Structure formats: structure tokens, C-alpha cells
Amino acid sequence: MPSDAIQPILSLRGIHKSFGGVQALTDVSLDLYSGEVVALVGDNGAGKTTLIKSMAGVIRADKGQFFFEGNEVTLSGPAAASDLGIQTVYQDLALCNNLDAVQNIFLGRELTGPWWSGFRVRRADCERKAHEVLQRLRLSGISLTRNVGAMSGGQRQNIAIARSILWQPKVVLLDEPTAALSHTAAEAVGKLIRELASHGLAVLVISHDIHQFVIDVTDRIEVLRLGRKVASFASKQVTGEQVVSAMVGGNEEPAGAR
């Protein structure tokens, strides 16, 4: 259900990737649209993380094309993806437990004073901007000054997502943001993801939580099996059973053939 776009913001065409003898991705094509949340699902080892990493510039595909805003591009690395406006939230979150939310949100990208101040970090400005970002995401309940090591899994996930949108990206890729979260915390992350899409971002989210998160939160579901894209569903028009059946290679027919 793309809101304002006829042209996808990001397109993959015919992506192949192997690791030694393992064919991780075979001829995968995918389109992402601004304002739309797409779920990427599949069994363990189906190639989901590999696909996200190829869009994040972390791994280079062996074959295939990558288009961003209609132009073919070659990503030389993660910085190139980030420059285009593609941000990734990995499963380990890469947060520093001994730092607070503000420090984590700005990690490595702090707002600093001029050279004659020794590029001193402008803490007050960082705090103001972090507060703005959290407010925009309706997360003002999160403490800016508590070490994130003392926070819950859900709060940490939210901080990692806030961090990813700090410089207003156009695409956000999330690898299993609800893994290991309670039902309530996963629901909160789901709301946050809808919030990102409502601000016009294209969102791709890997999840194993088919019956709740994937069906309830996303607009479209893309299924990978053994490195191939085998099915695509409108989330509103499909049951969890049908999605799982496509994942495991059962009968793709409706009516829960499992």
C-alpha cells in the first residue's frame, strides 16, 4: 500500500550471493516504497540477514542490480548506504551499556563545538536533539540520562531505532527487532515501526513472529525459502498459516495446508 510513490524508493533485481559452497541468495528481486512496512520472513538460514546486509552495503552481491530512487547504484560499503539514507538496526543493537540514551543515539556522530574548543561534545544540543527524536517517535518516556545497560530489552530496541533515524533516513532495515521481547514490548516496537512509516520512511523488517507482529504490523510480506523469494502477500489478505506454509515449503494454496 505505497502512499505517495509509484516508483519504489529501493529496488533489488536478480540478486545472487554465495558464501563458498553455500548459495545464500538466488535471483532475489524486491521493491520497497516510502510509507510502507514490508516483512521479510523465512526459516533459519533462508537468507534474510544476507539480503538486508546487501542493502546496507555490508556484503557485496555476486550478481544483480540495486536501484535507489530510480538510479542504479553500487554500494561501496556501509557508509555509502548510510549516505543514500539507508539505516540498519541489527539484532545485537550495537548499543554501549555503560553510556546513556543520548550518548548512544549520537555514538560516533556527536554534535561538537568548533576546533578551538577541542571539538568538545555539545551535550546540551545532543540532549535537545535526542529529546526531539524521541518525542517525534512518541518515546518521551525513555530516560535520557540512565545507562542503557540498566534498561529493558524493549527500551533498548527503541533507542536503537531512534538512533537509526537521527539523520532522517529514507529507508530503515530492521533484523528481528522483536526477538526476545515480551508481547507488550513487541507491540510497542510495532507501534514505533508504524510511526516510522507514517513519517514517510520505507521500512523492511525481518521477523519470525508471524502470527502477531508480521500479520498485524506490516503491509506486505515477502517470503524467502532456501535463498529464493517464493511468495509475496498483502498482510491484510493472508493468514499466519498461509505464510508459514510458504516459509516451510508446503502447499502455497490457501486454507492452511500444513
Ligand X SMILES: Nc1ncnc2c1ncn2[C@@H]1O[C@H](COP(=O)(O)OP(=O)(O)OP(=O)(O)O)[C@@H](O)[C@H]1O
- Residues of this chain that bind Mg ion (CB under 5 A): 49
Dig out the grid coordinates for 24 from the structure: 545464500
Minimum distance, C-beta of residue 198 to ligand X, in the bound complex (Å): 27
By CB under 6 A, name the one of 19, 76, 132, 255 that touches ligand X: 19
Q: Considering CB distances under 5 to 8 angstroms, the limit depending on partner class, which of Mg ion, ligand X, none binds residue 190?
A: none
Q: Which stretch binds ligand X (CB under 6 A): 29-37, 44-52, 63-71, 182-190?
A: 44-52
Binding status of residue 46 toward ligand X by CB under 6 A: yes
By CB under 6 A, name the one of 8, 31, 34, 47 that touches ligand X: 47
Q: Considering CB distances under 5 to 8 angstroms, the limit depending on partner class, which of ligand X, Mg ion, none binds residue 196?
A: none
Task: Considering the complex, state which of residue 172 and residue 223 has its C-beta at the smaller distance from ligand X.
Answer: 223
| CA pair distance 40, 186, nearest whole angstrom | 17
Helices (H), the chain: 48-55, 78-84, 101-106, 123-136, 153-164, 183-198, 215-217, 240-248
Task: Considering the complex, state which of residue 58 and residue 144 has its C-beta at the smaller distance from ligand X.
Answer: 58
Binding status of residue 24 toward ligand X by CB under 6 A: yes
What's the CA angle centered on 86, arms 81 and 91, to 5 degrees?
A: 100
Measuring CA to CA, how many Å separate 65 from each of 30, 69, 78, 238? Answer: 11, 13, 17, 30
Task: Considering the complex, state which of residue 1 and residue 22 has its C-beta at the smaller distance from ligand X.
Answer: 22
Find all residues with CB under 8 Å of 62, minimum gap 6, and list them. Answer: 16, 17, 18
Measuring CA to CA, how many Å separate 166 from each of 7, 213, 247? Answer: 25, 25, 34
Interface residues with ligand X (CB under 6 A) are 19, 22, 24, 42, 44-50
